[in-house]
Amino acid sequence: MSEPAISEELIAAHGLNKDEYQRILNLLNRIPTFTELGIFSAMWNEHCSYKSSKKWLRTLPTTGENVICGPGENAGIVDIGDGQAVVFKMESHNHPSFIEPYQGAATGMGGILRDVFTMGARPIAAMNSLSFGELSHPKTKSLVNGVVEGIGGYGNSFGVPTIGGELRFDKSYNGNCLVNAFAAGLVKTDKVFYSAASGIGMPVVYLGAKTGRDGVGGATMASAEFDDNIEEKRPTVQVGDPFTEKCLMEATLELMDTGAVISIQDMGAAGLTCSAVEMGDKGNLGIELNLDNVPIREENMTAYEMMLSESQERMLMVLDPELEKEAKEVFKKWDLDFAIVGKTIAEDKFEVWKNGEVKASLPLKALSGTAPEYDRPYITKTSKKLKNFEAPKLDPILALKRLLQNPNFGSKSWVYQQYDHMVMADTIRRPGKGAGIVRVHKTSKALAFTSHVNPRYCQADPFEGGKQAVAEAYRNLISVGAKPLAATDNLNFGNPEKPEIMGQFVNCIRGISEACKYLNVPIVSGNVSLYNETDGEPIQPTPTIGAVGLIEDLGHIIEGPAQPNDVLILIGEQGNHLQQSALLSVISNNSNGQPPITDLEKEKRNGEFILNSISYMSSCKDLGQGGIALGAFKMAIEADIGVSIEEKDIPWYFGEDQGRYLLTTTTSNALILLEKARNTNIKARIIGSFGGGLIKLGTSFLPYEELKMIYSKSLELALE
């Protein structure tokens, strides 16, 4: 089969610009083959090379007291004591999920799980952060149904609890939904595996499922905007099999125990190409592959197809040749393919053979470590507080009702009820209650997980939005009694070639970095997803923060719920910031003004106060969207009783000032807490109490059961 001639059209179809193609010519001193062009396209696209973001990612804090491994590996690793570590990462599968919702979301789950167990860790928890367009948009409902079903179908079958996440709807996602998947696992600190190849002449081994044509060109597709021809990209979406993935995990973990693994890498974006190149690059070695030995499930596959296939449930490893027999037996036992497909070499070379012919011979370092890097121009956007701003004149209980009727602020139970959150039997706190909590098996410790971003804040002021994303993730962990350890980020933006979009990215990074440094929450892993736009319409900047916290003793969990006659205490400032608030977004679709400013010193002080006062409270909730009114209502829902709050104005009830918590306690403990707060210069006061059958905001009230029904059904009704 003859390969197509290299043309300007073919180069452009591979996502390479003229300068990049000239760079290829200069590197090779010849025209590349079709297979080589595909390899360059895969490795130099945005998804794999981070060419627009590298400069700014380097500014993030990535080290800390407990960090074992930061960015650069399959996932980050953080020490949790007693010879154990938590391995975690968040990654996007946005474009595939929009094109083919079920498989796009399912394989996103599969990919993030492989990132974790490739490091030697057994997955213990998953989360997801989902952003969809308006519910009135013709595609939204089918996307929601397909994505949720795909996540549940894969995660439930694999056997990992999905314990939390986010769901939002906004018109900016009409043409480009976001599916961000998070996974975490446990590993012994002396049993961690890395991806850097080592040793010359060592066998390179293919593990797992067979290679097919699904997903060819997927990484390149993920680095491009959408247009009217989106349906043509359907073949670039992979097909997943969770049962094979489960077998692959068990086989991989068993294989690691044999001592046969020198290094290992999962096959994700760009498949065999990316996994081989990254292993070689990290180990400063070359790689030689013979495609004749690669297990395939389709006939007459070309070298180009095999190198760019993103078929799922596959791994690549460098093997200790003395233990080949033992390693092979493990994979035979699990009915998975095991094939020696190449070797490590001393030269800086990536060589691919098929049918006795060299199909690609390229400098390996040029594909990965020295791939193009851009310092793109950007525009910095700041926001100003609106002068002469007037709060809407609303009855506070009717304003709360309006919020609860909106699917963005109603219960997400329709989603998380489709996920198995109890598998493995270590889940302590189910989805829908804030941060998820999973027991560290056979110990008295637990890990808390959360994800957060407010795209509306990031749109208005990227710097403050980035800060706030970290700060609220921090508060979410504090609210359950967890000490924040570290975070992963999933940075979703539009086209970085537009200075205003690049400005969003740069300033969100700056905000994230400042907050992470101050709150001592390093970024240990992550993902960048750019070109999230359709026909030139970008998404709102959505830098999702996934954070992990440690609870040293199960007795220190703030479990809740509030009890009848408990008092409600506000920790932090009184607050009145309505601009960019949830309330205004619902009642007026107002996108003007400044988001609330995040005072990191107050965040830290108030958070430490909560952690030092756990024994005196029955429940705790950090305040974010919807302010005091929505926060107190959610605490009432968890307790299944009414709540009464003192009479104030709309800004006080619904303001979204940062660094604040609501906590509940007995009257006697309240006196102790208020005294503690005074002695440590923490703002604290009683603002209400729990009990009865009403939700009361001052003199305004509605029956608890009425608002509970609205809250529980708003999303379900919207999806009908």
Look up residue 485 and give its amino acid.
L
Distance CA 613, CA 665 (A): 11
Quickly tell me which residue has 């905000």 as its tokens.
511
For residue 138, give the 3-state DSSP assignment: coil
CA 451/CA 96 separation, integer angstroms: 22
Task: Report which DSSP code applies to 171.
Answer: G
CA–CA separation, 437 vs 551, rounded Å? Answer: 9
Using alpha carbons, select from 146, 696, 700, 126 the residue that is nearest to residue 438. 126
Return the residue matching tokens 């030269």.
347
244, amino acid identity: T
Pick the catalytic residue from 14, 47, 452, 577: 47
> Is there a contact between 543 and 466 (Cβ–Cβ < 8 Å)?
yes
Which of 502, 543, 538, 270 has its CA nearest to residue 374? Answer: 502
CA atoms of 401 and 701, how far apart (whole Å): 10
Q: Identify whether the C-beta of residue 714 lies closer than 8 Å to the C-beta of residue 407.
A: yes
**Has 14 been annotated as catalytic?**
no
Q: Do residues 175 and 141 touch, judged by C-beta distance below 8 A?
A: no
Report the candidate in 630, 662, 585 with the shortest Cα–Cα distance to residue 168.
585
Summary count for the chain: helices (H), strands (E): 25, 28
95 catalytic? Reply is no
Check residue 544 and report its DSSP letter. Answer: E
DSSP H stretches of helix in 309-449: 324-333, 364-367, 396-405, 413-416
Q: Could you tell me the two tokens for 558?
A: 């703030």
Output DSSP code: residue 322. G
Render the burial of 670-696: b for 16+ CB within 10 Å, e for the rest: beebbeebeeeebbbebbbbbbeebbb
Please provide the DSSP assignment of 347-377 as one string: SS-EEEEETTEEEEEE-HHHHTTT-------
Q: Which of 14, 93, 452, 577 is catalytic?
A: 93
**Exposure of 358 in the CB half-sphere (CA atoms within 13 A):** 8
Q: Distance (Å, rounded) from C-alpha 250 to C-alpha 262?
A: 18
- Cis omega (within 30 of 0) for bond into 561: yes
> In 209-320, which ranges are E strands?
261-266, 286-290, 314-319
The contacts found for 708-714 with CB under 8 angstroms, 24 or more apart, are: 708/637, 710/401, 710/404, 710/405, 710/410, 711/404, 711/410, 711/411, 711/633, 711/637, 712/410, 712/411, 712/413, 713/410, 713/411, 714/404, 714/405, 714/406, 714/407, 714/409, 714/410, 714/411
E strand intervals along 144-219: 162-169, 178-188, 203-208
Q: Which two tokens stand for residue 590?
A: 């107002």
Between the two ends of the chain, the Cα-to-Cα distance in Å is 51
Distance CA 610, CA 617 (A): 9
Residue 563: CB partners within 8 Å, gap ≥ 6? 618, 639, 664, 666, 690
Angle at 28 between CA 25 and CA 31, to 5 degrees: 55
Catalytic residue annotation: 47, 93
